[in-house]
Amino acid sequence: MPAIVLIGAQWGDEGKGKATDLLGSRVDYVVKFNGGNNAGHTVVIGTQKYALHLLPSGILTPNVTPVITNGVVVDIEVLFHELEALISRGVDVSRLLISANAHVITAYHRTLDKVTERFLGKRQIGTTGRGIGPAYADKINRLGIRIQDLFDENILRQKVEGALEQKNHLLVKVYNRRAILVDDIVADLLSYADRLRPMVADTSLVLNQALDAGKTVLFEGGQATMLDVDHGTYPFVTSSNATSGGAATGSGVAPNRIDRVIGIVKAYTTRVGSGPFPTELFDESGEFLRANGFEFGTTTGRPRRCGWYDAPIARYSARINGVTDYVLTKLDVLTGLSTIPVCVAYDVDGVRFDEVPVSQSDFHHAVPIYEEFPGWTEDITGARTFDDLPVNAQNYVLAVEAMSGSRISAIGVGPGREAIVVRHDLLGADDPA
């Protein structure tokens, strides 16, 4: 049985939760392998809407084991807040597993995130202020606190002292903030230890044994390709690897065990935070997409920047991730437009670029070259087969598919769990032998 990686192919908010939920009843494990509570999945089940930030969306599917692995940074307060919210709504959360090697977001990480972003002024990255970047920085600087450290008070205290010896100088002398007390941080983290202990496991071993036993494991990426710290629009990126390669390093499952890579791409493009965005719209078309697509951040509530579909970005994502299948979401949002532009290339100072420019400066100055496609007015939320879609909607999907670097295997046609058109089985059951 396969190991499948599911990633965002744009700047996030593509609808990864919906795609994970589509596969949920056919997989045994759903794994969050990167990021923290700086991203969100919204899953609609019947009349119920669930907004998840730190937890894998597979936690909503009975008989699936949700796993938070070593590549994630965990805000333990947020973790238990989300768990308690789900328990209050009758969701069974008892199967959750958390890697002993996952790093912990502390109060000083959140403080540093907010004050450093504020001091950047016009050069702000657009961080959510939740401490994700500083926690990853400590991980790389070997000053991090890991989940397993909460079970040894002496080690925990030593590590907190080492981290704060440096950070308090920065907070007091540079940012004019009050020093953070070691005792306060240690006491806060230790308060979670007993509740956390039953969830903690060697998740790398668990997942490899599951694959050995023929189980299906779905790796669910947080954030998205264009926010990947190595392959995104640096420095306007997240602090982890949100691409398919991050699934291996972020979980301890080798890359040669991964069978499929499913990319999630919206039928248009959105972005939250700062950074280049060639197809961004500042007119009524942008407002149309934002209003019809309810484009406000699951985690932040911030209005998302909206633009037309960007085919070079889709091709770039297909190449970087090895995408085998795309899921095209929110096609229904385009209903009612007379024509739908698609970015097919860029113009940079009179030079045509058919692929994403490697130079940050070139990408920042890229002007989209559009091809326009006829729109449709028919309601498509009830479509369940490709033939149910209006001809113009079919043609749009086929045109986008031809220029995106991989086949489009499923199409989201509405917010509901069942509102999806499947063209090819995402687990590969309909692939030719």
Alpha helix stretches (DSSP H) within 141-283 = 153-169, 182-190, 193-196, 203-212, 245-249
Full strand arrangement of the beta sheet holding 29-32 = 200-201, 97-99, 65-68, 29-32, 217-220, 3-8, 258-266, 325-329, 408-412, 420-422
Residue 390 three-state SS:
coil
**Cβ proximity of 95 and 66 under 8 Å:** yes
Pick the catalytic residue from 13, 149, 310, 325: 13
d(CA 129, CA 132): 8
Q: Which alpha helices (DSSP H) does 11-152 contain, by range?
A: 16-24, 76-88, 107-120, 132-140
- φ, ψ of residue 126 in degrees (nearest 5): 95, 25
Residue among 41, 53, 103, 109 flagged as catalytic? 41
At 156 the three-state DSSP class reads helix
Question: Is-catalytic flag, 81?
Answer: no
Q: Residues 6 or more apart from 162 whose CB is under 8 A from it?
A: 143
Asked if 13 is an active-site residue, the reply is: yes
Spatial separation of the C-alpha atoms in residues 110 and 133, rounded to whole Å: 9
Start-to-end CA distance of the chain, whole Å, equals 15
Q: Checking phi first, is residue 126 left (phi over 0); if not, alpha (psi -120 to 50) or beta?
A: left
Burial class (CB in 10 A: 0-12, 13-18, 19+), 422: middle
Q: Per 3-state DSSP, what percentage of the chain is helix, strand, and coil (rounded to 5)? A: 35, 20, 40
Tracing tokens 């996952």 back to the chain, one arrives at: 102
Q: Which residues contact 220 (CB under 8 A, 6 or more apart)?
A: 6, 16, 20, 30, 31, 32, 33, 56, 57, 58
Cα-Cα-Cα-Cα torsion 103, 108, 110, 114, nearest 10 degrees, comes to -140
Relative to beta strand 65-68, strand 325-329 is: unpaired
CA angle 176, 180, 184 (to 5 degrees): 160
* Nearest residue to 97 via CA among 51, 131, 59, 60: 59
Which residue numbers are catalytic? 13, 41
